[in-house]
Amino acid sequence: MGGDNYDFVIALAGNPNTGKSTIFNRLTGLKQHTGNWPGKTVMNARGYFKHNEKSFLLVDLPGTYSLLANSPEEEVARDFLCFGNPVVTVVVVDATCLERNLNLVLQILEITKKVVVCVNLLDEAKRKRIKVDLNKLSRILGVPVVGTTARDGQGLTELKEVINKISEQSLCCNPVQITYAEPIEKALDILQPVVEKLFKKQISSRWVSLRLLENNKKIELALNTNFAGNLLENSALKKARLEVQNFFNQQKMTEEEVKDSIVTGLFNTAEQIGQEVLEVESEDYHQFDRKLDSILMSKKFGIPVMLALLGVVFWITIKGANYPSELLARGFFWLEGYLTALFLASGLPDWVNGIIVTGVYRTMTWVVSVMLPPMAIFFPLFTLLEDLGYLPRIAFNLDNFFKKACAHGKQALTMCMGFGCNAAGIIACRIIESPRERLIAIITNNFVPCNGRFPTLIALAMIFLVSSIAAPWQSLGAAVIILMVIVLSVVITLFVSRILSKTILRGLPSSFTLELPPYRKPQVGRVIISSIFDRTLFVLARAVMVAAPAGALIWLLANFTVNEVSILNYCAGFFDPFARLFGLDGHILLAFILGLPANEIVIPILIMSYLATGSIQEFDSLEALRDLFIQNGWTWLTAVCMMLLVLNHFPCGTTLFTIYKETQSCKWTVISFLVPTLMGLLLCFLVSQSVFLFSSLF
């Protein structure tokens, strides 16, 4: 941040599902960027806004329910508030569940005085007949309180004005101090004076004293890291802590009872404040949500509705992507003609044009034309479900299955994201707090087919498995097969997750708090923009980076010959005996290997290999593709084995790169490569050999 030009640093904190991101986006617009916190996989976002000729850097902290450092998100938020020195901290709360959100507000008020409480979602509170007395809340908390409806932009000007006044010290804050149980307060009287003298107002002495009473080792480490010297080894502090420990022993209070007493004090204070400032006209304001949840989360309808919704999303994605993919391909092909003419006119050798245009350019544009449209459709649709509040319900429906597999319930969400792109699914694994369970989710994410694999699965189902069905019913038959493939991918994910948790990643599943946010009207415009910029283009850029060198390699293999036979065909012949064991042939196996950069280029490489054309090709119809495959010895068994390998094989280059970036480990990247590949080969071997054995017996 040292090179940035700004006057004040503002922290933005809040619980998940309070509209914090909406406020951040409204304040900063497009003047923002994201990245990892140093040493963490947790994402951060920073942006800028101006008010009264002052420039503000707004740091969006991870959404968290507390600051007790039980997860990477809580640790990051706590450290920035304690050691990042924000001039003002804006805490966003949900007006419809104020009591619960006030717990975080009170914790932050113990760290810093310069706080603005932003009561968001006032429109939803009004719809549910909930009134919040903002003035009274401000008087009780002792800090400014601003009401907003962020999605409509209401209240944001007032929020910026209050931030500006506190930053310039023209508005004072006198936050409320929580009164804890008598033993806690007496212990604080012993410890706090020593802490205050030791840290010299560099940090809130009361907050530090409370954490020392809890014997919080992570916070002790953070204090030593951020302040020079081993302050916690100070003799006066050690003496005071020993005195406190003796006092608690006299009171017969254990360490857990001390922690419980502090947490109880926080929650009781939040509840009392909520009762004073809230006016609820009807206790049935959640009635609609409960009725909908009784269907979407029921044992009878929860899973079928979930599959139906995901099926609709996949169908819209596949159908909707065809036309823009075709347009992009035509546009790129048109431009390729001009590039070829330019290279020929320049007098460069043909092989230069072959490598750069036919190899690199054509492979890159193929990846873009095939990947971009489905991702641009899938991610907004998926994000709309998230914005609507449905994704936590999916996690709830699948939580029991993942618990039985000794995995984390949040893995259901990362798995769903993998249907759009496995690289995005890997990034989504950051929401899992446990490192062990995060690794399980990363390793198994590739078992669910991404958008790049769906076209291949659909084509194989159409031309081999449902070709005998009457034309009007073929698409329905293919849809049923794809749905079965999806169910199989989930079963395999659970199966492998359990094996990993019992072998190389032993451990018990951790518990987590799953908040079910109220159903909300999604913000379609914001969802489309954020999903395209934050997810689609991010993943596509990585795919293009990997596809470029692969395009050059594929061209070289296809065009360099020995005894008039291309190196590509030599390689296919080398792999053929091995591939036959799995119901495949050498060309298929080689296409998967060369298709490492992106799953979308597996079929084009296979066509190029069969036809020996020397460049990536695509057929205009499924019938022509079917004839080519049959001419090269394909049967329904070949199609089934290839579908199994499409479903279970090594992650694409983009996903592998993402796995390495997330884990910072070659070991786990290699394991993530081997696990799905070995599973796919095992399934292909069992199916093909079983069919061969059955055929020989009967």
Q: pLDDT (tens digit, 9 = 90+) per residue, 443-464?
A: 999 999 887 787 788 778 878 8
Is 50 part of a structural domain of the chain? yes
pLDDT higher than 90, residue 495? yes
Residues 16 and 138 in one domain: yes
Tell me: do 117 and 194 sit in the same domain.
no
| The pLDDT of residue 489 is above 80 | yes
Residue 92, beta-bridge partner list: 14, 118
Per-residue pLDDT band for 511 (boundaries 50, 70, 90) equals low
Residues 262 and 310 in one domain: no
| Residue 78 CB contacts under 8 Å (≥ 6 apart), including other chains | 67, 69, 219, 222
Look at residue 37 in the predicted model and tell me its pLDDT. 45
**Shared-domain flag, residues 423 and 566:** yes
What confidence tier does 10 reach under pLDDT thresholds 50, 70, 90? Answer: very high
Q: Is 2 contained in some domain?
A: no
Q: Are residues 237 and 317 in the same domain?
A: no
pLDDT score of 603: 80
Residues 366 and 420 reside in one and the same domain: yes
Q: What is the band of 39 on the pLDDT scale with cuts at 50, 70, 90? A: very low
pTM reported for the whole predicted model:
0.68
Residue 2 confidence class, pLDDT cut points 50, 70, 90: very low
Average pLDDT score over residue span 538-559: 74
Residue 436 CA to residue 645 CA, distance in Å, equals 27
Compute the Cα dihedral for 77, 81, 85, 88 and give only its sign: positive
Same domain, 276 and 338: no
Quick check: 331 pLDDT over 80?
A: yes
What is the per-residue pLDDT for 55? 92
Shared domain check, 412 and 547: yes
pLDDT for 325 beyond 70:
yes
> Starting from the edge strand earliest in sequence, which strands make up the sheet with 8-14, in order?
32-36, 43-51, 54-60, 8-14, 88-94, 115-120, 145-147
Q: Of 167, 190, 210, which residue sits at a domain end?
A: 167
pLDDT of residue 587: 92
Q: Verify that 72 and 187 share a domain, yes or no.
A: no
285 assigned to some structural domain: no
Q: Is residue 296, in this structure, part of any structural domain at all? A: no
pLDDT class of 30 with cuts at 50, 70, 90: low
For residue 1, what pLDDT band results from cuts at 50, 70 and 90? very low
In a domain, 177, yes or no: no
Tokens of 650: 């090594």
**612 belongs to a structural domain:** yes
Q: Per mean pLDDT, which of 62-71, 200-209, 473-482, 549-558 is the most reliable? A: 200-209
249, 280, 311 — which closes off a domain? 280
What percent of the chain stands above pLDDT 90?
32
- pLDDT band at residue 4 using 50, 70 and 90 as cut-offs: low
**What is the extent of the structural domain holding 201?**
182-280
Together in a domain, 484 and 406: yes
For residue 78, the domain's CATH number is 3.40.50.300
Mean pLDDT value across residues 139-160: 92
Which candidate, 382, 380, 384, 439, places its Cα nearest to that of 408?
A: 439
Q: Residue 176 and residue 181: Cα distance in Å, rounded? A: 16
Please give the average per-residue pLDDT across 496-500, as a whole number: 92
Residue with tokens 């914001």: 526
For residues 375 and 54, the model is more confident at 54
How, if at all, do strands 54-60 and 43-51 pair? antiparallel
Q: Does residue 383 come out as left (phi exceeding 0), alpha (psi in the -120 to 50 range) or beta?
A: alpha
pLDDT at residue 69 greater than cutoff 60:
no
pLDDT at 34 over 60: no
State the DSSP string of 303-351.
HHHHHHHHHHHHHHHHHHHHHHHHHHHHHHHHHHHHHHHHHHHTT--HH
Is the confidence at residue 17, as pLDDT, over 60? yes
- Domain final position from 126, 141, 167: 167
User: Residue 149, SS3?
Assistant: strand
In the structure, what pLDDT confidence band is assigned to residue 64 with cuts at 50, 70 and 90? confident
Residue 620 has pLDDT above 60, yes or no: no
Q: In the structure, what pLDDT confidence band is assigned to residue 41 with cuts at 50, 70 and 90? A: very low
Residue-level pLDDT at 272: 93
- Confirm whether 1 is domain-assigned: no
Which band of pLDDT confidence, cut at 50, 70 and 90, is reported for residue 44? Answer: low
Higher pLDDT pick, 43 / 576? 576
> Tens digit of pLDDT for each residue in 98-140?
988 999 999 999 999 999 999 998 988 888 888 999 999 999 9
Q: What is the pLDDT of residue 75?
A: 81
Binning pLDDT at 50, 70 and 90, where does residue 11 land?
Answer: very high
Any domain includes 176: no
pLDDT, position 471: 63
Q: Is 322's pLDDT higher than 80?
A: no
317 versus 542: the higher-pLDDT residue is 317
pLDDT at residue 173, rounded to an integer: 86
Residue 105 token pair: 């507000």
Distance CA 167, CA 147 (A): 19
- What is the rounded distance in angstroms from the CA atom of residue 44 to the CA atom of residue 33? 8
99 and 245 in a single domain? The answer is no
In whole angstroms, give the CA distance from residue 254 to residue 251: 9
Task: Go through 28-53 and write b for each residue having 16 or more CB atoms within 10 A of its CB, e for each that does not.
Answer: beeebeeeebeeebbbbbbbbbebee
Residues 311 and 263 in one domain: no
Is the C-alpha dihedral spanning 517, 33, 114, 240 positive or negative?
Answer: positive
Q: Name the pLDDT band for 347 (thresholds 50, 70, 90).
A: confident
pLDDT > 70? residue 621: no
How high is the mean pLDDT of the chain?
83
Based on the structure, what is the number of domains in the chain? 3
Whether 361 shows a pLDDT value over 80: the answer reads yes
pLDDT at 262: 92
